[in-house]
Amino acid sequence: FFIEMQKKIIVTGAAGFIGSCLVGKLNELGYENLILVDDFSSILKEPNWVNKKYEMCIPREDFLQGVHECSCDIEVVFHLGARTDTTEMNEKVFDALNLTYSKQIFNFCSQYRIPLLYASSAATYGAGELGYSDDHHLIPLLRPLNPYGISKNEFDKWVLQQNITPPFWAGFKFFNVYGPNEYHKHRMASVVFHSANQIRNTGKVRLFRSHRPDYADGMQKRDFVYVFDVIETLIRFWQHRPVSGIYNLGTGKAEPFLRVAEAVFEALEFSPAIEFIDTPIDIRDKYQYFTQADIRKIQATGLTPDFTSLYDGIIDYVGRFLKYQKYY
């Protein structure tokens, strides 16, 4: 058991939003035998990881070169590193970071029999023409709306074609994750984060106007999931290893942006003031008006937490972190 505890836990994307929260939670649980992998050059990301407990940080481009030497000492790989900008249109960036790199990690874990848990995305579902089921048979038929979503879906498709796999693997289609440590994400940060900043700076929130007749302004809906529920699920999957596969990770409940804004106003103790603006042209035809995870498969494992309600999650996130610019 002691030797088992000394085995390394690899977290890629460890300087990012979800990765750094996972590292923080593992630290809370007593794990310090962590290898953090990422691009550590960004000053903006530094507070995400600098106070965490870990054995070493390895730059993303160096990781796969040296890792074969210590493969027998690795307990699990959490592969959360990716280029996540949905407005980036250069497919070569995604091919390199989201597809080729992920394939190399999958093959490494297969070769050395190491469990692998990785981040997919709800962006794979595109406009939701086929619904939001994580049935493996539907994955080749999905039509994502942007190069980021395409890269995630291409990797999922590739994984499902592999005959040689890690002893346990799971891909997670994260829906709209929000929570601490997303300060560096700029435009890609959650609507909760942007709403809180706008309210503090201007006293009001700007939401995208609806450009579809079937949705009122502010009634575009997403499945918002609190980051602490996400990392709790990742850890339970690693520890209990259900059936390998690709799983939706959301709450199963779509909520309107208007409800998000109202909860943030309440958390900050401001009176609601909402202004609607046009959705930017560069993302208008790639904008998801509705997402809602079908979570029957992941719930059947018995490993999901009781998902935090949107209201409770926002009150906690704003009250504990955003109000004070705190990190987890």
| Tokens of residue 16, six digits | 């990012």
Q: Among 221, 219, 217, 224, which Cα is nearest to 311's?
A: 224
Cα dihedral 306→257→85→314 (10° resolution): -40
What per-residue confidence (pLDDT) applies to 270? 96
What per-residue confidence (pLDDT) applies to 197? 95
What per-residue confidence (pLDDT) applies to 4? 47
| Tokens of residue 81, six digits | 């590193």
Displacement of CA 266 from its chain's centroid (Å): 26
- The single-letter code of the amino acid at 266 is E
The residues pairing with 74 across neighbouring beta strands, listed in sequence order, are 8
Q: Among 139, 135, 258, which Cα is nearest to 208's?
A: 258
- The single-letter code of the amino acid at 200 is R
What per-residue confidence (pLDDT) applies to 1? 35
Per-position pLDDT tens, the chain of length 328: 334 457 899 999 999 999 999 999 999 999 999 999 999 999 999 999 999 999 999 998 899 887 777 777 899 999 998 776 655 667 777 777 789 999 999 999 999 999 999 999 999 999 899 999 999 999 999 999 888 899 999 999 999 999 999 999 999 999 999 999 999 998 889 999 999 999 999 999 999 999 999 999 999 999 999 999 999 999 999 999 999 999 999 999 999 999 999 999 999 999 999 999 999 888 888 788 899 999 999 999 999 999 999 999 999 999 999 999 999 9
Q: Among 254, 177, 206, which Cα is nearest to 21's?
A: 177
| Tokens of residue 217, six digits | 């302004």
| The dihedral sign for the CA sequence 72, 50, 47, 83 | negative
**Which residues in the chain belong to E strands, given as ranges?**
8-12, 34-38, 56-59, 74-79, 116-121, 169-174, 176-178, 205-208, 221-222, 224-226, 245-249, 255-256, 274-277
Give burial (CB, 10 Å; 0-12/13-18/19+) of 93.
Answer: middle
List alpha helices for 17-123, DSSP H.
17-28, 46-49, 60-66, 91-94, 101-111
CA dist 95 and 105 (Å) reads 14
Give burial (CB, 10 Å; 0-12/13-18/19+) of 204.
Answer: middle
- Burial readout 310-328 (b: 16 or more C-beta within 10 A, e: otherwise): beebbbbbbeebbeeeebb
Known active-site residue 327: no
Q: Among 152, 5, 169, 184, which Cα is nearest to 78's?
A: 169
What per-residue confidence (pLDDT) applies to 89? 67
DSSP string for 182-230: -GGGGGGS-HHHHHHHHHHHHSSEEEEPP-STTS-TT--EE-EEEHHHH
Of these residues, 54, 118, 132, 148, which one is catalytic?
A: 148
Displacement of CA 98 from its chain's centroid (Å): 13
Known active-site residue 185: yes
Of these residues, 7, 53, 185, 204, which one is catalytic?
A: 185
CA dist 271 and 222 (Å) reads 24
Residue position matching structure tokens 């989201």: 98
